[in-house]
Amino acid sequence: MRDLQSQLAINDRDCDSCKTQADWDAYYQQARNTASMIGDNMDDVDWGFSERMSVVSDEDGHRIYYLDGEKMDLRQYSNRAHAFGSVFGEALLIEGGGRFLKFLSSFFKSGGDNVGLIFNKGVTESFTKHAFAGGRHADLGLSVETMASKGMNLVERNMHLLKAGDNTLIGNINGIQKSFKAFVQDGKVMSVNMYPGVSNRVTQGTTINFGNVTW
């Protein structure tokens, strides 16, 4: 870490969008989310054991994170896209980039109550494998990779509303009724699934209406 820090110019050890403590808290939360997305945890990152993420400190002792050697301003789409690329590939990211940027901007402006909630390791892969098995949701006319990415984005956009236990998200996607289940435990989203119509399983958490969205 010292070698990396000594090689960086002073402006490479700043978070350009971090002006207040709330900004820094949000920055660190998104760093944790990014680490989880690429299969790392923050202990490994902060101790220098991550293969893809690294960290240095600015003059005030704030941590600045890097992904594959590039400084992350985690409020910007390009950094989250870089992380998603390890799961879905760049063609998907280019397709979904505009909507993802809009989501990130609205997330940080919302100041949600549940900003500490993160996805458990492996949730994205499990969701992709099970939610679309047997051609489920083919009526949306989209690839599995696209639906998986947009589905996870939708859940993350509503993450501040999730409660401990089983949560249901209900709405229409491309004019077709769909619902999601998100199970929360110990400050983490442990699982996500997607159903045609409205799931008949009783939720122990909360019911969220995500409205009408276009994918």
pLDDT tens sequence across 4-21? 444 444 445 567 777 788
In a domain, 75, yes or no: yes
In a domain, 108, yes or no: no
For residue 144, the enclosing domain spans 115-213
Tens of pLDDT, residue by residue over 143-190, are: 999 999 999 989 988 888 888 888 899 999 999 999 999 999 888 999
In a domain, 21, yes or no: yes
Q: Are residues 81 and 142 in the same domain?
A: no
pLDDT of residue 20: 80
| Predicted TM-score of the model (pTM) | 0.49
Q: Are residues 133 and 79 in the same domain?
A: no
Q: Are residues 138 and 53 in the same domain?
A: no
Higher pLDDT, 53 or 37: 53
Q: In what order do the strands lie in the sheet with 118-119?
A: 118-119, 188-196, 176-185, 165-173, 207-213
In a domain, 93, yes or no: no
Q: Are residues 125 and 66 in the same domain?
A: no
In a domain, 101, yes or no: no
Q: Are residues 202 and 122 in the same domain?
A: yes
Q: Are residues 208 and 134 in the same domain?
A: yes
pLDDT of residue 138: 95
In a domain, 107, yes or no: no
Averaged pLDDT for residues 120-141: 92
What is the number of domains present in the chain?
A: 2
Q: Are residues 128 and 205 in the same domain?
A: yes
Q: Are residues 69 and 130 in the same domain?
A: no
Q: Are residues 58 and 131 in the same domain?
A: no
Residue 194 pLDDT level (bands cut at 50, 70, 90)? very high
Q: Is the pLDDT of residue 110 over 60?
A: no
In a domain, 121, yes or no: yes
pLDDT of residue 46: 79
Higher pLDDT, 114 or 142: 142
In a domain, 109, yes or no: no
Range of lowest pLDDT (17-21, 96-100, 135-139)? 96-100
